[in-house]
Structure 1
Amino acid sequence: MTRIIAGFAGSRELKVPKSGTRPTSDRVREAIFSALEARDVIEGARVLDLFAGSGALALEALSRGALSVSMVEKNPQAGALLRTNADLIRNAGKLDALATRVVIASVASYLGNPSSELFDIVFIDPPYELSEEEVTHALELLIPHLAEDAEVVLERSTRTGLPALPAGLELDKSKAYGETTIHWISAV
């Protein structure tokens, strides 16, 4: 069961695709959001969730005070569940329809399109089997979409080691939680 941990939608259950996604565990999400709250960056943030799956990361941020969330997922079935989950959380908070956006597209095609919207927090939780080259390419494409002082949270398998970061991004820290490692990245 995947659920929202805290905020106005705390304890609401999210629908999760039967296959093709690996939802971030409650333990790891709690650690991520504890760190984001300690940095005081969630309130009013514009959030981007790449490889969104169920949308648990973005919707947790929305429940905790983010201004808006955009979720990108290429799987159409997961995208349909994303829309259901977004509606559930948005309605729980009586938020405007503009508070959530679901984009059914590959991460590369979404990031490859110019946009005037800049994001304050970006969650990147790709399938563990996605190659490091593909992750690095997504990070390269992401740079023009980052607001000043943006926080990028990259979730990878502990076995993959440190990510190769393109110029313009630097690793702040990494922390392992069993099979999952969270990399905190900032724009420079």
Structure 2
Amino acid sequence: MVRLHEYGQSSKGDEALNRIPDEELLEAIRDLNEKTRKTPPTRDQMDEFGEYYGRSYRLRFGSWNEAVSAAGLEPREPIDSDFIEEPESCPLCGKSNSELDFHHWRYGDNKQGCYLCRDCHDSIHEGDALPSENNNWLIEAVENLVRDHFERHGDLEKYEILSRYNVTSEKLVEYGIQKMKSENKHREGKADDE
């Protein structure tokens, strides 16, 4: 199957598929709802199992929940607007011309997270930092965040990382900082040996 994304554009760049009709996109949500037996399916499930990427729906309908509603399904609870405002740019890389996605540090009733561009979001989930594949994904994700923050901003200030990215645990950030410092010390030791 050829994956489609961003207004139905084929991942292979086929211009003929540049604009898929709204009803076809909505039917893909209903089909996925039947396959996953979830009401409604999540945007992540659409990315993984659906015919189109979830971002296409956000671009076309304004949000995943709006697309779900247009498909005739009851949307899940949206992120509380008082919870965190979407910034003008990605707090990690500073890109201001890209769509931002909500990155969850914690799911459920006490959800917590921050908005990141797709590239930074994917970088945070590199390696074993996927909730669907690793029970310790959060530790790995925070380690990746600390590494990426250091590479882009040059500091390992705990409170800056906690507040900038709305991280759930001070201890996880401290652990990520210590691991980063240890890795840097190890690299410096190897360089001295050469």
TM-score bin (small chain): under 0.3
Pick 1 or 2: higher relative contact order, CA cutoff 8 A, min separation 6.
1
Q: Which has the higher helix share?
A: 2
Of structures 1 and 2, the larger Rg is shown by 2
TM-score (norm 2): 0.24
